[in-house]
């Protein structure tokens, strides 16, 4: 029986064990190698001149003073890029998976190009207009400060709804509108009929604002040009090296084989690093121009300006219910702000595909639009597109309960898709494979002690605080790049190399991936070496996004391990002078059935290299699997949040937070709990504090430092109660679902439902995110005014 068919877990450090992360010992003593740690002999340094305007024509760029600055080697502009044949970055904004396709080619009027360095016009504050290359970082900065640009400011627009209006300034010449995608899904006629017979209709309009990843490690890159081979090498802490390779090659106008991308450790990603960035192409181009390696390290303000942002979805939605509270239909209009250049339409697409979420909604009608604006491009950010849709759905349900007298929990229970209905096709056409949503919901409610909440509310009131509780359920649609490749080699000296194209950015791949090899081959965890981070070695790899990494890697690793055992059984039969059919493999040993005669896996690996080995067994003991797996994954779960609100200051405190998340099967529960904790912090951070704020008239980014962009700190959050549910996925051969995004996905809805519950008796029905003290206090004052 192959490892894909086997579901037993026996290895001490294998499948299902909460093994401590192997990589932490190295990282905690400073043994990591991040992008800025890469230094090459003779390297120069780049500093980018960025636009102070959100929208402007680029006139004459005076570089004379910069070139006269001591230490400056070269100044490159958009005109130089045009002369060198530089092209826009190659992105893949369109959905490419038939299981989730809502935005189709016919819905797209144009895909806004993304130049590495524009020659004629900038379209967001922070866009690169010149590159100064110097012998030292200080000289590069000095030279950049001496560049002057003749700007021709143009009207700017930053909000998607405003940009979609017919009288909005148009960002791209030749286009009649800023709307680049206009898509419809569902059954509008069925929805109209359902609303016509509904006993209750609840309407809700909101804006899920934009945020950014703020990884601990700012981006950095070193570009190298080898004139002898004609190849570029880019050292960059990117999330998906394959995407960076594709993007850089496209910008330079060379084949992908002419670009090598390498990365060591990556200090945080959350999706914002997965797509290619202009700076990665520019350091490679600059290296060729100056004939030496060129290095750039982002400052934190640059990161706020030019890192890709996430979220930014405006929604108008309404829910129809019958007299008993059963959902009849949902109608929604979603407008996604993709920023100045089209990096991705995936968040819009995935949100539309999950309309109705975990609830039985017989009919839906969805309109989805993507709009370009004078802001940094947006990209999939942890659980792309799903937190927004879950938030809207869960707020609609709470509003329906409060306005029409339903119990919040019972209204949800009545409408959750039952396990007996699986597989279930939602009204948008997406097929959910398996799951028990009610079980996860009920378990979260029990864990959170919902029954004891009123006593806690009364105790808080005696302290002068208003306490509230909120619940939100979620479902994920995990797809991502569908191809993955694993090459596993057993080394005679006692190690196992696993070459994979998916790079970790803190998820613990070196541990959880190795646990599967431990399970299947019986080796020790310390004997498994994960090899990633080099496109020359890994060949194929989609990166860590959409919870695809372990889910896809497990399949190709299992098949490669099967090949190793099959080949090893042949060589063991030769060594033990037995029939191949009589040789079993277990716990690292090949054994002749019914005897005590056996040989170790590493002994077999050594034997394959012997000159007298059978011809069909010679060569390394290895296995190679390269698979395309488009089947999606549907993790799900429920979160319960409790808050206390100080009416005098508007300060919201999270006092309890509980989640139950179903991952199908947990390879390493400890790592999964850690992923959930981090995801909760990011979701709560958006609900209460974080926001990328632009001035509506000028397009200036107002949150360009950590003084204005408020991140959650450890002392702002309670200890979390998290539990893992394991209902095996029927669409994955090992039963796996994704596990890295669930903490974030329900958090917006759970937190905001809790705040509104705390203030409901005052008449506060809704507060927009982020629920800052000022915003909460203002809502309280408005509610207290006589009507």
Q: Kind of pairing, strands 495-500 and 528-531?
A: parallel
Q: What is the largest CA-CA distance in the chain?
A: 95
CB 629 within 8 A of CB 553: no
Angle of the 386-404 helix axis to the 346-353 helix axis, nearest 10: 40
Q: Kind of pairing, strands 483-491 and 652-662?
A: unpaired
Question: Which residues of the chain register pLDDT less than 50?
Answer: 7-9
Q: How high is the pLDDT of residue 10?
A: 59
CA gap 385, 123 in Å, rounded: 24
Neighbour count for residue 86 (Cβ, 10 Å):
22
Extended strands (E) in 682-754: 721-725
CB 218 within 8 A of CB 224: no
Q: Kind of pairing, strands 363-372 and 327-339?
A: parallel
Q: Please, which residues have CB within 8 angstroms of residue 547's CB and are 6 or more apart in sequence?
A: 476, 478, 480, 633, 635, 737, 738, 739, 740, 741
CA atoms within 13 A on the CB side of 540: 15
Residue 167 tokens, joined: 């009288």
Q: How high is the pLDDT of residue 8?
A: 47
Helices (H) and strands (E) in the chain, counts: 21, 28
DSSP string, 54-94: SSEEEEEEE-HHHHTSTTEEEEEEHHHHHHTT--------S
Q: What is the DSSP letter of 143?
A: H
CA gap 565, 623 in Å, rounded: 9
Q: How high is the pLDDT of residue 174?
A: 93
Q: How high is the pLDDT of residue 480?
A: 84
Neighbour count for residue 199 (Cβ, 10 Å):
13
CA gap 718, 436 in Å, rounded: 28
pLDDT tens string 19-62: 999 999 999 999 999 999 999 999 999 999 999 999 999 999 99
Neighbour count for residue 192 (Cβ, 10 Å):
14
Q: Considering only CA atoms, give the Rg of the chain.
A: 28
Tokens 């189709």, residue located: 104
Q: How high is the pLDDT of residue 617?
A: 84
Q: How high is the pLDDT of residue 763?
A: 95
Q: Which of 233, 42, 66, 222 lies closest to 135 in space, CA to CA?
A: 42
CA gap 727, 442 in Å, rounded: 15
Q: Kind of pairing, strands 621-628 and 483-491?
A: antiparallel
562 three-class SS: helix
Segment holding 678, helix H or strand E: helix 669-688
CA gap 454, 467 in Å, rounded: 9
Q: Phi first, then psi: give them for residue 188, nearest 5 degrees.
A: -65, -40
Name the β-bridge partners of 327.
321
């Amino acid at each position: 029986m192959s490892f894909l068919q086997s579901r037993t877990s026996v290895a001490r450090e294998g499948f299902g064990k909460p093994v401590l992360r192997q990589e932490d010992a190295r990282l905690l003593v400073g043994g990591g190698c991040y992008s800025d740690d890469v230094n090459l002999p003779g390297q120069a340094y780049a500093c980018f001149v960025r636009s102070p305007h959100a929208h402007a024509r680029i006139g004459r760029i005076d570089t004379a003073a910069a070139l006269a600055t001591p230490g400056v080697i070269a100044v490159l502009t958009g005109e130089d890029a045009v002369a060198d044949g530089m092209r826009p970055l190659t992105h893949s904004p369109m959905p490419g998976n038939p299981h989730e396709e809502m935005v189709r080619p016919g819905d797209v009027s144009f895909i806004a190009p993304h130049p590495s360095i524009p020659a004629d016009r900038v379209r967001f504050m922070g866009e690169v207009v010149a590159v100064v290359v110097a012998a030292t970082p200080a000289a590069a900065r000095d030279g950049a400060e001496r560049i002057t640009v003749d700007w021709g400011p143009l009207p700017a627009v930053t909000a998607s709804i405003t940009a979609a209006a017919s009288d909005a300034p148009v960002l791209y010449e030749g286009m009649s509108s800023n709307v680049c995608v206009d898509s419809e899904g569902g059954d509008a006629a069925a929805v109209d009929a359902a609303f016509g017979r509904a006993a209750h209709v609840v309407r809700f309009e909101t804006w899920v604002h934009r945020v950014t990843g703020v990884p601990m490690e700012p981006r950095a890159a070193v570009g190298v040009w080898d004139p002898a081979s004609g190849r570029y090498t880019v050292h960059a802490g990117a999330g998906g090296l394959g995407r960076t390779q594709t993007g850089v090659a496209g910008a330079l106008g060379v084949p992908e084989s002419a670009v090598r991308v390498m990365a060591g450790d990556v200090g945080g990603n959350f999706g914002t690093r997965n797509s290619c960035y202009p700076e990665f192409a520019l350091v490679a181009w600059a290296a060729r121009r100056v004939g030496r390696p060129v290095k750039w390290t982002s400052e934190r303000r640059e990161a706020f300006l030019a890192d890709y942002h996430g979220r930014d979805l405006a929604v108008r939605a309404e829910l129809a219910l019958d007299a008993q509270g059963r959902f009849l239909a949902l109608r929604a209009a979603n407008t996604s702000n993709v920023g100045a250049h089209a990096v991705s339409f995936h968040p819009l697409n995935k949100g539309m595909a999950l309309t109705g979420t975990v609830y039985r909604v017989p009919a839906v009608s969805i309109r989805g639009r993507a709009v370009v604006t004078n802001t940094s491009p947006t990209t999939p950010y942890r659980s792309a597109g799903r937190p927004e849709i879950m938030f809207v759905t869960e707020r609609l349900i709470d509003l329906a309960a409060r306005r029409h007298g339903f119990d919040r929990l019972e209204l949800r229970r009545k409408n959750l898709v039952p396990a007996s209905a699986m597989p279930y096709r939602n009204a948008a056409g997406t097929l959910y494979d398996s799951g028990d949503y009610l079980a996860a919901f009920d378990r979260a409610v029990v864990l959170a002690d919902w029954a004891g909440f009123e006593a806690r509310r009364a105790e808080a009131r005696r302290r002068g605080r208003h306490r509230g509780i909120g619940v939100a359920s979620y479902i994920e649609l995990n797809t991502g790049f569908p191809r993955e490749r694993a090459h596993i080699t057993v080394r005679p000296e006692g190690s196992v190399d696993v070459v994979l194209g998916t790079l970790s950015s803190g998820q613990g791949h070196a541990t959880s991936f190795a646990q599967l090899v431990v399970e299947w081959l019986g080796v020790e965890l310390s004997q498994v070496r994960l090899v990633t981070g080099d496109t020359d070695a890994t060949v194929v790899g989609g990166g860590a996004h959409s919870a695809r990494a372990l889910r896809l890697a497990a399949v190709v690793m299992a098949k490669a391990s099967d090949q190793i055992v099959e080949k090893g059984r042949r060589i063991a039969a030769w060594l033990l002078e037995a029939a191949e059919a009589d040789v079993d493999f277990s716990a690292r040993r090949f054994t002749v059935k019914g005897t005590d005669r056996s040989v170790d896996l590493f002994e077999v690996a050594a034997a394959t290299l012997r000159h007298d080995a059978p011809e069909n067994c010679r060569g390394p003991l290895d296995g190679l699997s390269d698979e395309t797996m488009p089947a999606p994954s549907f993790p799900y779960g429920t979160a319960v949040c409790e808050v206390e609100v100080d009416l005098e200051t508007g300060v919201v405190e999270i006092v309890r937070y509980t989640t139950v998340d179903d991952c199908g099967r947990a390879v390493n529960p400890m790592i999964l709990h850690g992923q959930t904790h981090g995801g909760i912090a990011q979701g709560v951070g958006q609900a209460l504090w974080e926001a990328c704020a632009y001035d509506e008239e000028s397009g200036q980014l107002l949150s360009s430092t950590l003084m204005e962009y408020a991140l959650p700190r450890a002392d702002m959050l309670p200890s979390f109660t998290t539990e893992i549910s394991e209902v095996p996925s029927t669409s994955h051969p090992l039963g796996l679902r994704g596990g890295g995004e669930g903490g974030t996905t329900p958090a917006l809805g759970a937190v905001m439902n809790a705040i509104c519950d705390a203030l409901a008796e005052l008449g506060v029905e809704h507060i927009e995110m982020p629920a800052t003290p000022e915003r909460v206090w203002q809502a309280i004052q408005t509610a207290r005014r006589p009507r």
